[in-house]
A and B are shown apart, each in its own frame.
Chain A
Amino acid sequence: MSEISLFKVTIDGEEVEVAPGTTILQAARQLGKHVPPAMCYYTKLQGSGGKCRTCIVKVTAGSTKDPRPMPKLVASCRTPVMDGMVVANETSPEVIEARKGVTEFLLINHPLDCPICDQAGECHLQDLGYEHGAQKTRYDFERRTFDKIDIGPYVQLHMTRCILCYRCVYTADQITDKRVHGVLDRGDHSEISTYIEKAITNDFSGNVIDVCPVGALTDKTFRFKSRVWFTKPVYAHRNCPKCTGKVTLWYKGDDVLRVTGRKDKWGELEDFICNTCRFETKKTADWVIEGVVNVDRHSVISQNKYTLKAEKPVVPELASKHTGEGTWDHQLK
C-alpha cells in the first residue's frame, strides 16, 4: 500500500499530523491537549455529531491552498481537516464565549437534579457545566418537564433531563433493523421516544444507557443503589456468546451493583455489550477479574478534578500568621 500523505493541522498553536478525512475533534484528541467538549458526537455512531454545538471552534485558516478563515464557528466533530488548517479552540475568546452560550442553553431546560440523578459523577453535562457554565442562571421560567417512561424492563427514560443529543437514536438505528426509537415533536418540546412506548426488545438495547451523556436513560437495575463515586470500577470479562464480554464491574463492598461497557478516555464505549452481561450477570463468580480501572479524565469521580479550579475561600489575616494547618492549601496536600 502506498503511503498516504498526512495533513498538518495546528490547534491552539500546536501542530499535529493526521490522516485525510480526520475531523478537527479527532485531530485534537490525537494531540491530547485543548480538546473541545463533545456532548452529541460519538465515534462509533454513524451520523452522530454536529447537534449540541459545544465542540465549536474557530478555523482561522482553512488550508494551505485556501488560507481564508471560515466565516462562522464550525462544529469540530463534523468538520474534516485540510492540510495547513489552523484552528483556535481555547485560545479564541469568541469560541469560549459561544461555548458558554451553548452550555447555558443546554442547562436552561435541564432540571439540575444532580443530587438525585444516577448519572451524577459521570455526567458529561456536569463536566461541561463546571468547565464552561456560569455560576448563576439567567433563566427564570418554568423548565420543561416530562413523565418518566419505561422503555422495556431494564431502561428508564427520564426525558426531563435529556439534552437531545440523538446518540441513543443512532444507537437504536445501528443495533436494530427497523426503526424503533426516534424523536417526536419539534423544538424544545421534542422528545425521545419509542413508538407508543413500545419496548426496545433488542439484546443490545442497554447500550443506550452508556451512550447517554446525561441521566436521561438510566439502568433500572442500578437506580438509586449508590452514588457512582462510592463504587469501585473493575475490568472483567466472561465468555459471552453474544458480545465480547469485556465489561466494567462497579463494586460496592463485595457486591456488583452495576455492569457497564468499557469506556475510553473520552467517555466512549469500546464495545457494545449485550443485555445479559449488563443486567443479568451480577455475581463476581460469573466474571474473570482483570484489575482496577484507572479513572483519569472522565468526570468528577476522578478525584480532585475540580478542586484546583475552585475559588479559594478568603481567609482573613490569620492565615499568614498561621502554620498553614487547616487552610485550603494544607487540605489539598
Chain B
Amino acid sequence: MGKIKILTKDIGTPNLQNIDVYISKGGYASVEKAIKTLGPDAVVEEVKKSGLRGRGGAGFPTGMKWSFIDKTPGKSRYLVCNADESEPGTFKDRYLMAENPHVLIEGMITSSFALGANRSYIYVRGELIYVVRILQKAIDEAKAKGYLGKNILGSGFDLDLNVTCGAGAYICGEETALIESLEGKRGNPRIKPPFPAIAGLWGMPTVVNNVESIAAVPWIVVNGGEEYAKLGIGKSTGTKLISAGGHINKPGVYEIELGVPVEEFIYSDEYCGGIWKNRKLKAVVAGGSSVPILPANLITKTANGEARLMSYESLSDGGFATGTMLGSGGFIAYDETACIVKNTWNFARFYHHESCGQCSPCREGTGWMEKVLHNIEHGHGKPSDIDLLVDVAKKIEGNTICPLGDAAAWPVASAVRHFRDEFEWHIKNPSAATQPGAVFRNEAVLA
C-alpha cells in the first residue's frame, strides 16, 4: 500500500490555518478549477467517478447522494457539513478542522458550487467551540480573498457559508436531527421519507455530508476522480482518517489508504505501534462505539482465515456473525486487562444518555440494557440476564426511527455474541468479578 496522504499531507506546516500559507501549498485550486473550467455537473461527475464514500459512518457513495438532490428550479438548495462528531472513539474531524480548516472551507465552496447551493452550513458539535473560532477565522479570510461571498471569482456564483454550533447532543449527528437543530428546534430525528435530498433544511433540498467527505472533494476535483479511485481497494477508494485509541502505543489520527491490513495497522510503528506494555490484544472496536466489537482472533483474520483489511468490505466480511464495520473510523483496541462487560455497560450508558426519547424501542430499550449491564458488572446479574440482553437488543434493532437504536443494540449484541463466557463468569462469580482489576481470561481469543 502506498503512503499517499490527501487530507493530512500539509499538516505540520507552520501557520497552515492562515490562508496565505494554505494557498502556497496549492490550496483553493479546486475552487478555481471547478468554477473556471469544469462547471457544476462535471464536479459531481468527478466525485461520482472517485467512488468516494461517506466518511461519517454509513459509507454511502457521496456522488450518488449528490445526484439525488431535487433540482427543481426556484427551490433553494443547501449543503450542510456534519461536524457534530460525537461517536465515542472517533476524533478525526476535530483534528482535521483544527489543523487544516481551509481544506474544509475549500471543499464546502467547491461542493456548494457543484450542488448549486448558495447558502451552506457547517454544524459543529457544541463542545468544540475552539474549532468554531478557527473555522470562522478561516471563513473570514476566504471571504477577504474573494473565495466566498458574492460573485465568487467573477463567476456570478454566490455563497454564504455559516458556522453554527450545536449544544453537544450525540443525536444531532444524525442528519435529520441535525437539520432540526439547525432550524432551532429540538434535535429529534425526522421520520423518513422524505429524505433531506427532497425536503431537508427549511423544507428545501439538502445534502448533509461528513467533514472528511467534503474535505476530500478538493483533491478529487484537482487530480480527477479517476486518480482518487486508483487509491484504496475495490469499492473502498481513497484514504480514510482513522482515530486510533485505547491500549496501543501510539494513539492518534492516522490517514491510511483503504486496504491496509488490520494487523499492519495495529502493530506497525508507522501506525498504532503495537499493544502497550507488551500485552496481548483482546478485542477491537473498529469503527466507533456503535459497530460490533470483535475479539482479537477475528479482527486480524476473517472467519475464512484471510487477512482482514481496513476497508468497508473486508471489515464487514462475515456479516455481524464474525465481522464488523468500518463505520466512522474510531479504532479502539482493548488489551488483555480490559473487561468487556464493563466496556459494554459503559457504551450502553452512553446510548441511554443520548437517546432522544422520541420512539419507544430506543427510549425504553437503551435504559433497560444499561440497567441490566450495570447489574451484571456490579455482581447482581442473573443467569437469565444474558438472553434478556440479546432479546432486548434484537427488539430495538431495526425498529427505530433513526440508526441510534441500531447503534445502541449492536455493541451489546456483539459483546454477548463473542464474549458470552465472560458475561457468564461475571454472573457466576460475582464476588471475584467485582474485585478491582479482576478480568476474565480466555487465551483462545487473545492475540
Cβ proximity bits A154-192 to B, threshold 8 Å, 1 near / 0 not = 000000000110100000000000000011011111100
- Segment of A71-79, A257-265, A275-283 in the binding face: A71-79
Main secondary structure of the interface of A (DSSP, over half): loop
Interface contact B395-A104, CB-CB below 8 Å: yes
CB contacts (< 8 Å) of A52 on chain B: these are 359-360
Q: If A186-B355, A188-B363 touch, does A102 touch B399 (CB 8 Å cutoff)?
A: yes
Interface contact A186-B359, CB-CB below 8 Å: no
How many chain B residues touch the partner (CB < 8 A)? 29
Q: A51-B359, A164-B358, A187-B354 are in contact. List 16 more A-B contacts (CB 8 A).
A: A53-B400, A72-B398, A73-B399, A78-B191, A101-B361, A102-B361, A102-B395, A108-B364, A109-B364, A109-B367, A186-B169, A187-B352, A187-B356, A187-B367, A188-B357, A190-B363
Distance (Å) between the CB of B179 and the closest chain A CB? 15
Interface contact B186-A188, CB-CB below 8 Å: no
CB contacts (< 8 Å) of B401 on chain A: these are 50-51, 75
Q: Of B354, B364, B398, which contacts A105 at CB under 8 A?
A: B364
Which residues of chain A from 277 to 307 have a CB within 8 Å of any chain B CB? none
CB contacts (< 8 Å) of B279 on chain A: these are none
Closest to B360 in A: A105
Chain B residues in the interface with A (C-beta under 8 A): 169, 171, 186, 191, 352-361, 363-368, 371, 388, 394-396, 398-401
How many chain A residues touch the partner (CB < 8 A)? 34
Interface contact A50-B357, CB-CB below 8 Å: no
Cα distance, A190 to B169, chains bound together (Å): 14
Cα distance, A186 to B172, chains bound together (Å): 12
Q: Of A73, A188, A189, which contacts B398 at CB under 8 A?
A: A73
Closest to B374 in A: A141
Interface contact A51-B360, CB-CB below 8 Å: yes
Q: If A105-B360, A188-B352 touch, does A139 touch B398 (CB 8 Å cutoff)?
A: no
Main secondary structure of the interface of B (DSSP, over half): helix
Distance (Å) between the CB of A102 and the closest chain B CB? 6
Interface contact B399-A186, CB-CB below 8 Å: no
Distance (Å) between the CB of B143 and the closest chain A CB? 35
Closest to B188 in A: A183
Distance (Å) between the CB of B372 and the closest chain A CB? 8
Interface contact A53-B399, CB-CB below 8 Å: yes
Cα distance, A305 to B158, chains bound together (Å): 65
28 contacts between A and B (CB under 8 A): A49-B191, A50-B401, A51-B358, A51-B360, A53-B359, A53-B361, A53-B400, A72-B398, A73-B398, A75-B191, A75-B401, A97-B395, A98-B395, A101-B394, A102-B360, A102-B361, A102-B399, A105-B395, A106-B364, A108-B368, A109-B364, A138-B388, A164-B360, A183-B357, A187-B355, A187-B366, A188-B357, A190-B356
Closest to B371 in A: A141
Q: If A182-B186, A186-B355, A187-B353 touch, does A101 touch B363 (CB 8 Å cutoff)?
A: no
A269 within 8 A of B: no
CB contacts (< 8 Å) of B361 on chain A: these are 53, 101-102, 105
Cα distance, A56 to B367, chains bound together (Å): 22
